[in-house]
Structure 1
C-alpha cells in the first residue's frame, strides 16, 4: 500500500512537471514566434516602402539617419538631385567599378564624428560591392565647428598627388589624429615622399579641389556631413550596413 502511494505520488509529480514544461515551452514559443513575425513585418514594410513608396515615404524613412548627422544649415534637405554626374569632378578620388550600375557620391569631413563612425561601414561596402558600385569622395570640411578638418582635407589631396589617397584616407580615419603632427605621421605611415608632401601641404597646393567640392555641395543643397548621393537620391547621416544593403539592392533591381 505504501509503495502504491509513493508510486502514485511520483506519477502525480511527473504529471505536474510535464504540464509545467508544456506551458513553459508554449509561452516561450509564442514569444519567439511573435518576435519573428514582428521582424518579418518590419522587413517587408521597410523593403516595400523603399521600392514603391513616394518621396514623402522615403523622407520619413531616411529621416532617422539624421540622428547622426553634423549640420551647419537649417534649410530643408533635398531628397534628390537632377543629375549627380554633374557634380563628379575629375579630381574626385574614386574606387570600385569602372562600369557601375550604382554610383555613391560621399561628402565627408575627416573630423566629423559621424563620418568617423561610418568609415568601417563604407569600407565594408567598398569591399562587398566594388564589382557593381563606384564610390566617389568629395571634401566638405565644416571648419566652423571642426577646426582641424581643413588641414586634414589639404593633407589628403597631397596624398592623392602621390596616388595614395585611399591609403591616407583610411589611416586618418583609423588613427583619428588630425593635428599637424598626426597628419605628417599618417603620411609616413602610408609611405609618402616627405619633401613632396611637406611642400604640397604647406603651400595648400590643391585647395581649389576643396573649394570646388564646397561649391558643388552648396549647389546641391548639402546641409552637412556625412551626406551621400546614391543614383541621385540624397541620404544624410549614418545608415547601418543592413540599411545600405537595402538601398543598394533597391537600385540593383531597377
Structure 2
C-alpha cells in the first residue's frame, strides 16, 4: 500500500534560536502567575538564560522528540484513512458529493478550494478524465477552503453545499469555477437562479452548511493536508497521495 507523501519545512538552521526563546517563555509562564509576571527578579531571569545557554542540546532534543511524535501521529492517521479507503470506502465518502461511476474500482478523493486558481485548473483536467474514463473513476469532493488567503473560499463552499441539498452540487461547482474571478454573494444567488433552485430553501441551507464543511476541514487537518488541490486515490494498482498528472496513467493501468 502506498504511503502519504508529506513534506516539512527545513527550519533546523533556526532551531536553536527558536527553542531558546520558546523555552524561556514557557519557563516564565509556568513558573509564575500572570499577575506576578511583572515582578520576576532579574537575577532569576539571568539564571534561566544561563541554563539555556549551557544546555541548548536538551532543548533541541525535546523539540525534535515532539516533532517525531507529531509526525508519527499524522502517519497513523494517514494509514488509517487509506485502510478505510480500501476496506470501507463509504466511511470516507460519507455525505460528500460524488460523480462518475458508482461501480468503479478507482476512488479519487479531492480536497479543493473554489477560490484556488490551481483548483480551477485541476477542475478542467478532472472533467476531461471523467469524460474519457466514465467507467473507471468515481470522484469525491471534500472542502478545504483556505480562508487565510481566500476570502470567498468558505462562502463559495457554503453556497455549493446549499445547492447540493437540491441535487445540483456539480452544476453549481462547475459554475463557481467558471466564474472564479466574480466570486461573491451576487454570483452565488445568480447561479442559484440559473439552476432554478428553490431560493427560499437555498438561503435557509446556507445557514446549515457549517458542520459538513467543518468535518471536511478537520479530516484534512488530521491528514496534514496543507494546500489545494490535494488528491488521494485508491485503485487496484495504487493507493495513496497522487499528483494530478499521474491520475491518467493509473486509470489506464486499471482493469
Q: TM-score range by the shorter chain?
A: 0.5 to 0.7
Name 1:17's counterpart in structure 2: none
**Cα distance change on mapping 1:229 and 1:247 into 2, 3 Å:** same
Please tell me whether residue 230 in structure 1 is matched to residue 233 in structure 2: yes
Please tell me whether residue 187 in structure 1 is matched to residue 188 in structure 2: no
Name 2:27's counterpart in structure 1: none
Once the two structures are superposed, residues 97-133 of structure 1 have per-residue CA deviations (whole angstroms, 9 ceiling, x without a partner) of: 1221100010010001100111111111111222121
Name 2:249's counterpart in structure 1: 246
Instruction: Check the 8 A contact 2:84/2:92 in 1, yes or no.
Output: no
Please tell me whether residue 151 in structure 1 is matched to residue 188 in structure 2: no
Q: What pairs up with 1:118-197 in 2 under 5 angstroms?
A: 118-176=122-180, 177-197=182-202
Question: TM-score normalised to the size of structure 1?
Answer: 0.63
List structure 1 runs of 4+ shifted beyond 6 angstroms. Answer: 75-80
Name 2:210's counterpart in structure 1: 207
Residue 247 of structure 1, CA deviation: 2.6
Q: CA RMSD in A?
A: 2.7
**Cα distance change on mapping 1:222 and 1:86 into 2, 3 Å:** farther
Give the paired residue count: 179
In 1, Cα distance between equivalents of 2:138 and 2:151: 30
**Cα distance change on mapping 1:149 and 1:89 into 2, 3 Å:** same
**Cα distance change on mapping 1:89 and 1:208 into 2, 3 Å:** farther
Q: Which has more radius of gyration? A: 1
In 2, Cα distance between equivalents of 1:86 and 1:189: 32
Name 1:220's counterpart in structure 2: 223
Instruction: Check the 8 A contact 1:88/1:136 in 2, yes or no.
Output: no
